[in-house]
Copies of this chain bind each other. A is one copy, B any other.
């Protein structure tokens, strides 16, 4: 008899995803630089990738389902000359099989070409879509990102692109970090609350903008600074200028970027995020101490948190779960039919570490709880005497409206259960989440944060309405 089937969730390498954007200006091989930068941002979106390059105003767009490394091979890059480029990586929503929603989006606008890459989510998309339709808009995609193009196109007064762009941006609500290619110029924009990251770097004569600093590192660029909330930057023939910013709003940087979403080697507040995760782990150890023999991270994203926890708790750290590097998307595709040892394909327990021990498992979030439950069972099967689960995020109860692809609120484990119920569901001897205050104590104090997913406090607004036409 064959074992029960896998579910797609079993295989998800990282539970929640979103998008990543890059922009390159004034580099003779802009598309290649953009591809390497995207490569470093692949963790932000693994299902599609795209680059649009401008060769003196003549655009070329390549985008496809798949990984950066599969799409931007040498033969492809060799045919993409040009000195400015923008790029995008993206998760895909269930069932999507075409590239019509992949980005960058490209269009012909008043005899010039334009392309945009968007990380974030607009909360007033449906209202804008209706209004723009009355003005004659027809949509090539069903993404909210396309609305920016139509707002610019329908701007009757704007004789200059920058003016139209500014006017269009003031109409948007929600979260956005944009890179925009227009004719021979590149633009970068961050929303007034600065919800999503966007940083600026320098590589010789070239300028690079990217969602995270790790994308600058990979191409050897120097990190200059984060864009300020509401900032607009224009790159033109090697020159940078800063048109008037968008009207200010209180900063609301996504705290989940620090806990899980960004790469640990990226910087936040000029320090490695790795450090903040060490601090989160230590804080967690103080908030939820436990008498145990060994601390084991759910690799790889929880490694720093587990190190911090072990150090604070004075317990030995061991890599008691070995993660396979060969779980491929291909394997996932026909997911329904594959078998139930999914978690075993991804993680294998090290018996020598776990057998007879009291084990602390450290993770950085619990989403649906499916994978966590399987890991706990696996650790018990390997002989663990006790299993204690510690999480460096507060209980995740609410959907993100600002660009992190989360399951329906109803599917979030913490939305359905109390901590005690979750402990029973996971089958652990104890369960501890860091407190929201504990998080705040661990992350850079100089910034204000959006913590809506944990607190339900949607400072940047809720999504107004959801209609059939625009499936975001």
Q: How far is the CA of A274 from the CA of B61 in the complex (A)?
A: 45
Bitwise, A245-273 to B at CB < 8 A (1) or not (0) is 00000000000000000011101000110
Q: Complex Cα distance A468/B40, Å? A: 36
Tell me whether A136 and B153 are in contact in the complex, defined as CB-CB below 8 angstroms, given that A69-B328, A73-B334, A341-B36 are known contacts. yes
A36/B345 in contact, CB under 8 A? yes
Q: Are A326 and B67 in contact (CB under 8 A)?
A: yes
Taken together as a complex, chains A and B put the C-alpha atoms of A334 and B72 apart, in Å, by 11
Contact yes or no, B135 A150, CB < 8 A:
no
**CB-based nearest B residue for A138:** B107
Which of chain B's residues have a CB closer than 8 A to the CB of A98?
Answer: 61
Measured in the bound complex, the distance between the Cα atoms of B133 and A114 in whole Å is: 14
Q: Quick one: given A138-B149, A153-B137, A265-B348, are A272 and B341 in contact (CB under 8 Å)?
A: no
Cβ of B275 and Cβ of A352 under 8 Å apart?
A: yes
Contact of A307 among B271, B317, B334, B345 (CB under 8 A): B317
Chain B residues with Cβ under 8 A from A135's Cβ? 135-136, 154
Interchain CB contact under 8 A, A32 and B220: no
B338–A219 CB distance below 8 A:
no
Q: Which of A380-431 contact B (CB under 8 A)?
A: none
User: Could you say which of A43, A154, A325 has the most chain B C-beta atoms within 10 Å of its C-beta?
Assistant: A325
Is the beta-carbon distance between A345 and B2 smaller than 8 angstroms? Answer: no
Closest Cβ of chain B to A215, distance in Å, is 10
Proximity string of chain A (66-99) to chain B, C-beta cutoff 8 Å, 1 when within and 0 when not: 0111100111001000000000000000000010
A323 to B327, CA, bound (A): 16
- Are B108 and A217 closer than 8 Å at their CB atoms? no
Q: Closest residue to A136 on the B side, CB-wise?
A: B154
Task: Decide if A445 is an interface residue (CB 8 Å cutoff).
Answer: no
Instruction: Verify if A337 is at the interface (C-beta below 8 Å from B).
Output: yes
B contact residues around A110 at 8 Å (CB): 133
B-contact bits for A272-314, CB 8 A (1 contact / 0 none): 1011000000000000000000000001100110010001000
- Flag whether A465 is at the interface (Cβ < 8 A): no
Determine which of B139, B272, B353 lies in contact with A107 in the assembled complex, contact meaning CB atoms within 8 Å.
B139
A186 to chain B, nearest CB (A): 19
CB-nearest residue of chain B relative to A111?
Answer: B469
A350 touches which of B42, B264, B350 (Cβ 8 Å): B264
Chain A residues within 8 Å of B, Cβ to Cβ: 1-3, 13, 28-29, 32, 36, 39-40, 42-43, 46, 61, 67-70, 73-75, 78, 98, 107-111, 114, 130, 133, 135-140, 142, 149-150, 153-156, 204, 214, 217-220, 263-265, 267, 271-272, 274-275, 299-300, 303-304, 307, 311, 316-319, 322-328, 330-331, 333-334, 337-339, 341, 344-345, 348-353, 467-469
29 contacts between A and B (CB under 8 A): A39-B345, A40-B348, A43-B326, A67-B326, A69-B326, A69-B331, A70-B328, A73-B330, A73-B334, A74-B333, A74-B334, A109-B139, A111-B133, A111-B467, A135-B154, A136-B137, A136-B153, A136-B154, A136-B156, A214-B322, A217-B348, A263-B322, A263-B348, A264-B350, A265-B350, A265-B351, A271-B352, A274-B319, A274-B352
In the complex, besides A67-B326, A74-B337, A218-B344, 19 extra interface pairs with C-beta distance below 8 angstroms are: A1-B28, A67-B328, A69-B326, A69-B330, A73-B334, A78-B337, A108-B138, A108-B139, A109-B138, A133-B153, A135-B136, A138-B150, A214-B322, A220-B344, A272-B352, A274-B319, A300-B322, A307-B317, A311-B316
